[in-house]
A and B are shown apart, each in its own frame.
Chain A
Amino acid sequence: MILKVAWRNIWRSRIRSIIVLSSIAIGIWAGLLIIGFSFGMNNERTAAAIGATLGHSQAHSEDYLQDPSPSAVIAPEAYENLVAALEEQPFVTGYAPRTMLQGMVASAKQTRASRIIGVNAESERTNTTISTYMQEGDFFETRVRKGVVISEKLAEKMGLGMKKKMVLTFQDHNGIIHKATFRVSGIYRTLNAAWDELNIYVQQKDVERIIGTPLIHEVLISYDKSEDTEEKTASISAQVAPPTVITSWKQNSPELGFADDMMGIMLVLVLGIIMLALLFGIINNMLMAVLERRRELGMLMAVGMNKRKLFQMILIETLMLGVVAGPIGMLLGDLSIRVMMNVGLDLSTKKDGLAELGVQSTIYPEVVPEYYLVMAGMVILTALVAALFPAYKALKLNPVRAIRGN
């Protein structure tokens, strides 16, 4: 009967209850949308970075991780051992060796520092999504000698276009400076503006011809799925002898890894702030309910309702607000996310700023079921905390004075 009394008491002040129930439902709806969009944005950003440039993990020599100089190569024997180890792992879907050189690129308009990535075009196309980001030309599909693929941003800054010449200057593993003219054969634009501005792609075989020997500084490794990346990376590491070192995408791009790790904490904080706002709304509602029902509560205490049962009654009444509004808010939030998953949130007016963060201008939310449980738990906790002060006020009532309405 206590449940029945609590349920009916909620509807005693219908408008007030509808307002507080709406505020809880809207708070939950907003919380779920924030979670959905945050996960959507972060996962898309991470997936894009892993797919286009990072891979799930990378292999380097120990020296390269200390100082990425041209001499810090993976020796041919170590590379063979690495390939053998990779081919043993069922979750490794492919790998792409890279030559990584720091150098200068020059056009008629400008000279800039750049990272020159020498790739095996076919493995890079197979194991990354970089070829899908081409704006002009292609990713070394057309046979061009000494072709270079640069970003749209770099092309704009250096006044370059398709088939234009640029001069690349770089140092080899012996410290010898080489200078060579390349012709723009493709222009790309990834979601990461910072990456685009720094990195240019050439073919490994062209670099080999200039230097006279093949150099492998980095091997990008792709997995079948993005889950359990750290465990999979550790599993490869166990098969590879030093000085070759395997590092996961979180280690290779700490800012992305940090964002991934921090997002959970930030979302719980955001939800906490939403719950805090709801907390005061619920306290206000319940406090008014208690004060309005002073006579009734006084009567209940007079006829023998003990403090535990009185507290229980107010607690159940408060919890019921959360129990009623919670599922409504979650249903609305879930429906909104599923609709937005098809439509997306168009932020094209902030396109450039988002590109700096490696995010595209239309954000698609994701359904994150585990956060529904977190949200449900937080609503219940909020209702429990909100019940404390009104219940305390009720327990402090003097039955004689309360019955008189004082």
Chain B
Amino acid sequence: MSKAVIEVSGLHKVYEGAVPVKAVNGIDLTITEGEFTALKGPSGCGKTTLLNLLGGLDQPTSGSILIDGTDITGLSDNELIDFRLHNIGFVFQAYNLIPVLSATENVSFIMLLQDRPKEERLARAEQLLKAVGLAGKEDKRPGQLSGGQQQRVAVARALASKPKFVLADEPTANLDSESTAKLLDIMEQLNREENMTFVFATHDDRVIAKAKRVVSISDGQVISDSAK
């Protein structure tokens, strides 16, 4: 049996205001190593909030989040930053690459934050860019790449730190069909060949179709959880 990478229980996130908003309302969820999971639901259902909580980017109002056995809700800001650096890969909707760096430099930057030696950084960046189909584009800056290519660089960057899992928030939202298909193929291949765990927040049917497990969220609650 595969080991649980993420274990969430009794998770709540309430945004205080004139009218408190329950963005996450009592979610229990376990994701095991090697899963290719899509969190689906309409806009405002709470999937991005859940993803931010899983990534330690936001703190829950109550509940616990165990990542590989560590309860990240008890970590300080600095501990969380360090935890994210070594355990979680992120892919954002808007790619968020550093525009002044080349593809190789963008990928290796995260390894620089981990204080890895230069030779290792460059070798891994080259290997990852090749894996996402960007061999030959290593020296291109984000502005010289298409949206799909930029998102593939972002995937390579997410994998560069050798994380326990990758969180991807609407990774295909800005991509055309061809780029989306290619990106999904690459992520599926990485999942299959390297047993990398992927969790997507999406409402893109193309992503949902590729996912091996689909967790439907509505009003901050899991309404269905199905594995293919």
A residues near B, CB below 8 A? 1-2, 4-5, 8-9, 12, 295-296, 298-307, 309, 399-400, 403
Q: Is the CB of B78 closer than 8 A to any CB of chain A?
A: yes
With contacts A303-B85, A304-B81 taken as known, whether A400 is within 8 angstroms of B100 at the C-beta atoms is: no
A305 touches B113 (CB 8 A): yes
Sorted from nearest, which 4 A-B pairs have the closest CB atoms? Answer: A304-B85, A8-B100, A299-B96, A304-B84
Q: Among A12, A298, A304, point to the contact of B110 (Cβ < 8 A).
A: A304
A5 touches B100 (CB 8 A): yes
B58 touches A306 (CB 8 A): no
Extra pairs beyond A1-B105, A302-B55, A304-B113 (17, CB < 8 Å): A2-B112, A4-B101, A4-B105, A5-B109, A8-B101, A296-B99, A299-B96, A302-B57, A302-B84, A302-B90, A303-B84, A304-B84, A304-B110, A306-B78, A306-B81, A400-B57, A403-B96
Residue ID in chain A nearest B87 by CB atoms = A304
A-B contact pairs, 8 of them (CB 8 A): A5-B100, A296-B99, A303-B85, A303-B110, A304-B114, A305-B81, A306-B113, A400-B52
CA distance A5 to B106 in the complex (A): 10
List CB contacts (< 8 Å) of B116-161 with chain A. 157-158, 161
Residue ID in chain A nearest B167 by CB atoms = A302
Task: Identify the interface centre among A1, A4, A298, A302: most chain B CB within 10 Å of its CB.
Answer: A302
Contacts of A2 in B (CB 8 A): 112
Residue ID in chain B nearest A305 by CB atoms = B113
B98 touches A5 (CB 8 A): yes
Contacts of A300 in B (CB 8 A): 98
Q: Is the CB of B71 closer than 8 A to any CB of chain A?
A: no
Contacts of B96 in A (CB 8 A): 295-296, 298-299, 403
Residue ID in chain A nearest B52 by CB atoms = A400
Contacts of A298 in B (CB 8 A): 96
B100 touches A307 (CB 8 A): no
B153 CB to nearest A CB, Å? 13
CA distance A303 to B98 in the complex (A): 12
B residues near A, CB below 8 A? 52, 55, 57-58, 77-78, 81-82, 84-86, 89-90, 92, 94, 96, 98-101, 105, 108-110, 112-114, 157-158, 161
B78 touches A399 (CB 8 A): no
Contacts of B94 in A (CB 8 A): 295, 403
CA distance A71 to B113 in the complex (A): 84
CA distance A295 to B35 in the complex (A): 29
A141 CB to nearest B CB, Å? 76
CA distance A302 to B89 in the complex (A): 9
A389 CB to nearest B CB, Å? 21
B78 touches A304 (CB 8 A): no
B82 touches A304 (CB 8 A): yes
A301 touches B92 (CB 8 A): no
A96 CB to nearest B CB, Å? 71
A7 CB to nearest B CB, Å? 9
B101 touches A304 (CB 8 A): no
Residue ID in chain B nearest A10 by CB atoms = B100
CA distance A12 to B101 in the complex (A): 11
Residue ID in chain A nearest B141 by CB atoms = A8
Contacts of B109 in A (CB 8 A): 1, 5
CA distance A307 to B113 in the complex (A): 11
B58 CB to nearest A CB, Å? 6
CA distance A9 to B99 in the complex (A): 9
Q: Among B92, B99, B108, B161, point to the contact of A304 (Cβ < 8 A).
A: B161
CA distance A400 to B58 in the complex (A): 7
Q: Among A9, A299, A302, A399, point to the contact of B100 (Cβ < 8 A).
A: A9
Contacts of B100 in A (CB 8 A): 5, 8-9, 12
A314 CB to nearest B CB, Å? 14
CA distance A2 to B113 in the complex (A): 10
Residue ID in chain B nearest A310 by CB atoms = B81
A398 CB to nearest B CB, Å? 9
Contacts of B110 in A (CB 8 A): 303-304
Contacts of A296 in B (CB 8 A): 96, 98-99
B125 CB to nearest A CB, Å? 12
Contacts of A5 in B (CB 8 A): 98, 100-101, 109
B65 CB to nearest A CB, Å? 15
CA distance A8 to B98 in the complex (A): 11
CA distance A218 to B112 in the complex (A): 76
B27 CB to nearest A CB, Å? 18
CA distance A12 to B94 in the complex (A): 19
Contacts of B89 in A (CB 8 A): 303
CA distance A132 to B69 in the complex (A): 93
A301 touches B81 (CB 8 A): yes
A3 CB to nearest B CB, Å? 11
Contacts of A306 in B (CB 8 A): 78, 81-82, 85, 113
CA distance A295 to B77 in the complex (A): 19
Contacts of B77 in A (CB 8 A): 307
Residue ID in chain A nearest B55 by CB atoms = A302
A226 CB to nearest B CB, Å? 54
Contacts of A1 in B (CB 8 A): 105, 108-109, 112
Residue ID in chain B nearest A2 by CB atoms = B112
B112 touches A303 (CB 8 A): no
A309 touches B98 (CB 8 A): no
Contacts of A309 in B (CB 8 A): 113
Contacts of B86 in A (CB 8 A): 304
B78 touches A307 (CB 8 A): yes
Contacts of B78 in A (CB 8 A): 306-307
Contacts of B105 in A (CB 8 A): 1, 4
A392 CB to nearest B CB, Å? 15
A162 CB to nearest B CB, Å? 78
B98 CB to nearest A CB, Å? 6
Contacts of A307 in B (CB 8 A): 77-78, 81
